[in-house]
Amino acid sequence: MNNPTQPVTFLLDPEDNQRLADLCGEHNAHLKQVEEGLGVRISHRGHLFCVDGRDQDVRHAQDVLCALYEDSGKGAPLSPDRVQVAISEIPAEAKSNQDEPDDVVIRVRKAMIRGKSLNQKRYLGNILRHDINFGVGPAGTGKTYLAVACAVQALAEETVDRIVLVRPAVEAGERLGFLPGDIGQKVDPYLRPLYDALYEMLGFERVGRLMERHVIELAPLAYMRGRTLSHAFVILDEAQNTTESQMKMFL
């Protein structure tokens, strides 16, 4: 199959050396991340950039660099995670050629939940279709909330027997045994975002009853070793904070 290559040259505007340095990253780390992620070669002289590679990849890389340069002027420095999100986003041209995903409706006791953005709709659809899913994105994009909604619906439909919500307690270095109090008092602060989502969807009393019967279980990742989680909807929140061995154990 012929994959034509066509280098593209473009100028980032307005010219700002501080924003340029933020875009490139230390020792051009961000540019190398884009190169590896999209299979292109990037060179630049000042604000004049040249991207070489397959035509579609080159256009995607140009969009990524322009979007990141725009973000660099908003105050917070760019991070490798933000660069990866930009790389992972579907190019505008590809989006226009794709069918709009079906409007997935998640029914929970107190609400009907829909994905608003294109990515949220795809995220919900993938959770319902596949056994294992990874949700990657900035904070506040609904990753945890939508996953909990799918879990609550699966429990209501008796597709699963229980819900297990897990989160690494990184602030305590996972050494929860050294903290005062019982297990509930130790882990409660770290699991609060998951509690909030459950309370909104099921109400305080119902969540309390389900937790007493261990139908819903919230636990720190440090307490999951050796567990058997059959017929369960398991959510690992803040998975980026796990170690390699913890992630292997969870999977």
Domains of the chain: 8-96 (3.30.1370.10), 105-250 (3.40.50.300)
Task: Output the pLDDT for position 184.
Answer: 52
Q: Taken in order 138, 139, 145, 148, is the CA torsion positive or negative?
A: positive
Flag residues of the chain having pLDDT under 50: 1, 95-98, 171-180
Give CA–CA dist 160/118, Å, rounded. Answer: 27
pTM of the predicted protein model? 0.57
pLDDT tens by residue, 12-37:
998 999 999 999 999 999 999 999 99
Cis, peptide link before residue 14, omega less than 30° from 0: yes
Q: Quick one: which of 210, 109, 198 has its CA closest to 156?
A: 109
Residue with tokens 């307005």: 14
Residue type, 43: S
**b/e string for 19-37 if b means 16 or more Cβ within 10 A?**
bbebbbbeeeebbebbbeb
Task: Output the pLDDT for position 171.
Answer: 46
Whether residue 53 contacts residue 41, with contact meaning beta carbons closer than 8 Å, is answered with yes
Q: How many CB atoms lie within 10 A of CB 196?
A: 13
3-class DSSP state of 36: helix
